[in-house]
Amino acid sequence: MGAVKSKAGEVLEEVIRRLRYSVPVKGVKALGEGRAVVVVDRRFLRDAVLAFFKAFDGREPQLSSMVGIDESGRLGGDVYSITYWLSLNDGGSSDVLLGIRAYVRGDDPTFPSVADVIYGSNWYEREVRDLLGLKPVGHPDPRRLILPDDWPEGVYPLRKDFPYYESPSTEPKYEFKVVRDANVVPFGPYHVALDEPAHFRLYVRGEEIVEVDYRGFYSHRGIEKIAESRLTYNQVPFIAERICGICGFTHSTAYCQAVEAAAGIEVPERAEFIRTILLEIERIHSHLLWVGVACHLLGFDLGFMHVWRVREHVMWLAERLTGNRKTYGMNLIGGVRRDLLKYRVEAILKTVERVRREFKELVDMLTNTRSFVRRCEGVGVLTNALARKWCVVGPVARASGRKIDVRADHPYAAYGRLSFKVPVRSEGDVLARALVRIEEVFESLNIIEEALDTIPGGEIMADVRDLPEYSEGVGCTEAPRGENVHYVMTGPGNRVYRWRARASTYNNLPAARDMLVGYEVADAPLIVASIDPCYSCTERVIIVDVRRGSAKVLSRGEFERLSIRKSRRCA
């Protein structure tokens, strides 16, 4: 373990040395093994980020997060910082996470955009503009991203002088893309496939999708602001867990890891193992849920019901281990709240054995169902080159040939002490995404068994007192949907000064355009669902014929029937 860690330190030194060749570096702040922040003048911010991607092209460089901070509390005055968090992901031998930071002042809050080259930074840069008023110069699509259509210009909610309970409003406006000679198929905000609000505008010629526009963040709840304004550090894990109703535990884990890194808290090994076991239980339920939904979208409801029947045993297990089927509520800073008692271990082993046996039967059935395979094959392809430019994560990345997985590349919890495979496929289509997830279910079952075999005894919670002020840390986890990154800067009074939670779908969803263009309208629900996106609610679609100006409301059932009819043609 020690050897691996010092390797990360060496690689980090190399990274910083290479950066110094390209840009003048003002300062380096070490944040622990393989973690650091490099400060550059904002004029060189773009050059520094691009230099990182260019220099380490062979090591799967990744834009893992970007954080804008109102620094008035720490530095005083009208000062903001922008930090691009970049990682290398080549299987743990270079466990590096580097922040490239520039400071800007309120009278000229601009910085050079990298979104024309690193597509993945598109949303991040629009987000700091919306929430903090820091303006990316040269951004290819500088429209509003997060704030609602009726939010007034020039009001920035994440600035410290903005109170968390305010909610200003003005005349709503939003400009969608205009595409000539194409009809528009609005898709959502009430989402057909996954029952959560997001609005896709499909521009179509006949059946073919020629362009896509996206408007989301309808369920943006401002939880970072709430956490910074009125919660203490041990209250935040519970709101972090509610970021997602499917994979919430991985969020509370990432948050806790960020605070633990910032405060230098050693989590007891046993707690690390318990976190790992629960994270894998969560992944299994999440992947089974997804396989079921995918079957349903294809009109294969028998598959849907069977997969969810198997999944139910995982839910019951989680209920016994944590007190609830979902939102486990097990994490606090420093460890976990419930121990793995002996009878619980037996319950886990029994469920693992059952899920492995029953899911294997289902997978055999599914992969031998011609309509399933043919409907998913060659649809919604994301090439490896685009997957890298968009910085996609999780099964979406691994299905496009990117061998990245936080558990292997940046081992956290107990993953550094366990062995497992990272399934990768090269096709980049819906089928590849499905098969990667299916293989991961079996890997997760193995991880749980190995963790139960090797779990050490001892405490499950570290003794945590007051947090240091203005200390920063980053926590990364591999959620079922990919890399989650939580950044925390602690503040006075045992609160977080800045908390930036980045869910995996944030990196995957912007790439949906490149998966949809060129395919048919009937493929849209399946392709969007193949990302396994994580937003929240009910469903209804309107088809607008631009030339005739007429609108037709397409119910969820009708839209699904479109998809199901196409499956029949494939059979």
Least distance from C-beta 249 to another protein, angstroms? 13
Provide the token pair at 104: 């800007």
Q: For every residue of 386-403, which 3-state class applies, written as one string?
A: HHHHCCCCHHHHHHCCCC
Nearer to another protein, 324 or 384 (CB): 324
Least distance from C-beta 497 to another protein, angstroms? 18
Kindly identify the residues of this chain, within the stretch 234-253, that bind another protein according to CB under 8 A: 234-236, 238-239, 242
Cα–Cα distance for residue pair 518/247, rounded to 1 Å? 31
Least distance from C-beta 146 to another protein, angstroms? 23
Give the phi and the psi of residue 223 in degrees, each rounded to 5. Answer: -70, -25
Burial of 97 (0-12, 13-18, 19+ CB in 10 A): buried
Nearer to another protein, 99 or 248 (CB): 248
User: Among 231, 422, 452, 546, which residue interacts with another protein (rule: CB under 8 A)?
Assistant: 231
User: Among 140, 168, 245, 323, which residue interacts with another protein (rule: CB under 8 A)?
Assistant: 323
Least distance from C-beta 121 to another protein, angstroms? 33
Least distance from C-beta 290 to another protein, angstroms? 18
Contact 481, 437 (CB under 8 A): no
Least distance from C-beta 224 to another protein, angstroms? 15
Cα 425 to chain centroid distance, Å, stands at: 20
Least distance from C-beta 138 to another protein, angstroms? 41
User: Among 7, 20, 320, 356, which residue interacts with another protein (rule: CB under 8 A)?
Assistant: 320
Nearer to another protein, 82 or 321 (CB): 321
Least distance from C-beta 319 to another protein, angstroms? 6
Contact 152, 168 (CB under 8 A): yes
User: Among 22, 72, 229, 327, which residue interacts with another protein (rule: CB under 8 A)?
Assistant: 327
Kindly identify the residues of this chain, within the stretch 390-449, that bind another protein according to CB under 8 A: none
Least distance from C-beta 34 to another protein, angstroms? 32
User: Among 126, 275, 296, 313, which residue interacts with another protein (rule: CB under 8 A)?
Assistant: 313
Give the phi and the psi of residue 290 in degrees, each rounded to 5. Answer: -65, -45
Nearer to another protein, 319 or 361 (CB): 319
Provide the token pair at 492: 């006075």
Cα–Cα distance for residue pair 510/500, rounded to 1 Å? 19
Nearer to another protein, 235 or 383 (CB): 235
DSSP string, 513-566: HHHHTTSBGGGHHHHHHHT---------EEEEETTTTEEEEE-HHHHHHHHHHH
DSSP state of 214: E
- 3-state helix, strand, coil split of the chain in percent (to 5) is 45, 20, 35
User: Among 45, 104, 284, 321, which residue interacts with another protein (rule: CB under 8 A)?
Assistant: 321
The stretch near another protein (CB under 8 A) out of 148-156, 272-280, 314-322, 436-444 is: 314-322
Kindly identify the residues of this chain, within the stretch 273-312, that bind another protein according to CB under 8 A: 309, 312
Helices 269-297 and 342-367: angle between axes, nearest 10 degrees: 30
Does 322 help bind another protein (rule: CB under 8 A)?
A: yes
Cα 278 to chain centroid distance, Å, stands at: 18
Nearer to another protein, 123 or 255 (CB): 255
How big is the site for another protein, counted in residues (CB under 8 A)? 20
Contact 63, 45 (CB under 8 A): no
User: Among 13, 41, 116, 319, which residue interacts with another protein (rule: CB under 8 A)?
Assistant: 319
Cα–Cα distance for residue pair 382/120, rounded to 1 Å? 14
Least distance from C-beta 370 to another protein, angstroms? 28
Burial of 366 (0-12, 13-18, 19+ CB in 10 A): buried
Nearer to another protein, 57 or 319 (CB): 319
Nearer to another protein, 22 or 234 (CB): 234
Q: For every residue of 462-501, which 3-state class applies, written as one string?
A: CCCCCCCCCCEEEEEEEECCEEEEEEEEECHHHCEEEEEE
User: Among 337, 403, 417, 556, which residue interacts with another protein (rule: CB under 8 A)?
Assistant: 337
Give the binding site for another protein (CB under 8 A).
Answer: 231, 234-236, 238-239, 242, 309, 312-313, 319-324, 327, 329, 337-338
